[in-house]
Structure 1
């Protein structure tokens, strides 16, 4: 009888943890979908408050990010903002049940107002396709759902850390007709094809772009910034806009379609294009800085940011 090697034990333990975490996440998502949105948000706010008071990775990352981008704030002001950030980030997680499982009617009822929709209509009227940039602020899932319900959409996605959730995520995000494409060359070609067919393509533009990407200021701090936006615009004649879904104090969401500087975003100079992209995201953040995903390592690759 062969003995189990240490490597096999580690692999088994890792698979077991992944399976358990995936199962737990699925139960939570389905459970939150049964709750009224206001209740799910209240639970999220409570969890975020706990995260503020207890030592944890989310609190650490948010604290580091806020210290870097808002050096002018006093410690008291930063702590107040930190608490709000953690509350909103937890609410986004608790809203996933509604975002992934609610039907069209319930989701649209959760949208209180839509501002700037005329910009989107005008962009489509050009007949060249629309590239929608949706930063990680408020609830970006509600933006994706709203767009999929109303427009033929192709959306780039990154697989979740829990591999077992990928199929559920793809089914959830594609249930209103969106075509989901991976973050590779095949996915990029599909985005370009959609734009050239006067469809809508959407991406999250504020993720760390990795080694080799232009490193330009984001909220005053050097950050590796994606060049995909400029490439898509250079290879198509598409219009470009920003869109965010912010939580309303009285419940539900308010969606905002915002103008973008196409010429600057499509600049052949990668540095100039990256700077224009970050400036556009910054304008979105200014609308509700407490709702931005400050628990993400946006400044990965920049020394001194994530030190204790």
Structure 2
């Protein structure tokens, strides 16, 4: 048997130190770093600029620059708040939730007794959403193993502290979530990552985006109630608001084109609530139907 790689001690130490800082301080530091990134040439800013230009072509130049700056600030807050979310007592982290918008959608979905399929886009603090749900209901979540194997133990430990069960995306993971839904539990999926393989393209803010069919197939096979959900970050480190939104029934359509389009419409609806907090630094449109790529290639270092 091969042993799992141990997480770097320096990373564990860094997370432990950052976890001791107050949330307003972490968010203030994140905002400062993000502002710096907005004014210096760098690939992170470049990707955000491309994404926002594609998705909001009618936005005035000044407004788009402000949105880029705000998006970079929120991205840096996301990176720093992982430390307390993963390291502080779960009940204290869950206590940062100030309001739950659409709570009735979540409660009614549970009352239907069909299982709940939570589609959680990369908006705000999705790790906090995981802890809040797991504190109330049995939760199974699919995840994509990180490219650096040494990071996986940290992610699994942080995400499972409230009893959540984490399964890697793949055939066994899919079977596991279907069993969880058959037990009328909650399953969480991040629906807005570009999938591998020959998945269909569906419009995302009017731009073709390669979109996973997995969420739709799980909804079809399980009969679970699909909901969109995310944790919105409040200003000045004051905490978070949760949002639960009903999904378009077409999410479970047997036609993959219809199902993926419904998923992207749901993600759009979430993004419009907190536009700066979406993961605009992710290359969402890296693959296009004509083979083109809107992002510049990385320059190879000369050895």
Calculate the TM-score normalised by the size of structure 1: 0.90
> Which of 133, 137, 150 matches 2:119?
133
Cα RMSD of the aligned pairs, angstroms, is 1.6
Tell me, yes or no, if structure 1 residue 305 matches structure 2 residue 291. no
Tell me whether 162-171 or 184-193 shows the greater mean CA deviation: 162-171
Q: Does residue 1:219 correspond to 2:202, yes or no?
A: no
Please show how residues 205-244 of structure 1 align to structure 2 within 5 Å.
205-244=191-230
- Once the two structures are TM-superposed, the CA of residue 150 in structure 1 deviates from its matched residue by 1.1
SS in 2 for 1:206: coil
In the alignment, is the contact (CA less than 8 A) between 1:68 and 1:305 conserved in 2?
Answer: no
Structure 1 segments unaligned to the other structure (5+ residues)? 1-17
Give the paired residue count. 289
Distance change >3 Å, CA 63–CA 22, structure 1 → 2: farther
Q: Structure 1 stretch 108-117 or stretch 182-191: which is displaced more?
A: 108-117
Q: Partners in 2 of 1:271 and 1:257 — Cα distance?
A: 24
Contact 1:32 1:96 in 2 (8 A): no
More divergent stretch after superposition (296-305 vs 272-281)? 296-305
Task: After the TM superposition, list the runs of 4 or more consecutive aligned residues in structure 1 that deviate by more than 6 angstroms.
Answer: none
> Any unmatched runs of 5+ in structure 2?
298-303
- Residue among 109, 133, 137 paired with 1:123: 109
Does the 8 A contact of 1:128 with 1:237 survive in 2? yes
Larger radius of gyration: 1
Which residue does the alignment assign to 1:37?
23
Distance, in Å, in 2 between the alignment partners of 1:28 and 1:42 is 18
The superposition leaves residues 140-194 of structure 1 with CA deviations (integer Å, 9 ceiling, x where unpaired) of 1111111111110000111223321111111111111000000100000001110
Other-structure match for 2:243: 256
Q: Is the 8 A contact 1:101 1:172 kept in 2?
A: yes
Aligned twin of 2:49 = 63
In the TM superposition, residue 25 of structure 1 has moved relative to its aligned partner by 3.1
SS in structure 2 of the partner of residue 118 of structure 1: helix
Structure 1 position 189 matched with structure 2 position 175: yes
TM-score normalised by the chain length of structure 2: 0.92
Q: Deviations over 1:176-228 (max 9, x none)?
A: 10000001000000011100100000010001013311111111110000001
Q: Is the 8 A contact 1:129 1:200 kept in 2?
A: yes
Q: Is the 8 A contact 1:245 1:255 kept in 2?
A: yes
Query: What SS does the corresponding residue of 1:156 show, helix, strand or coil?
Result: strand
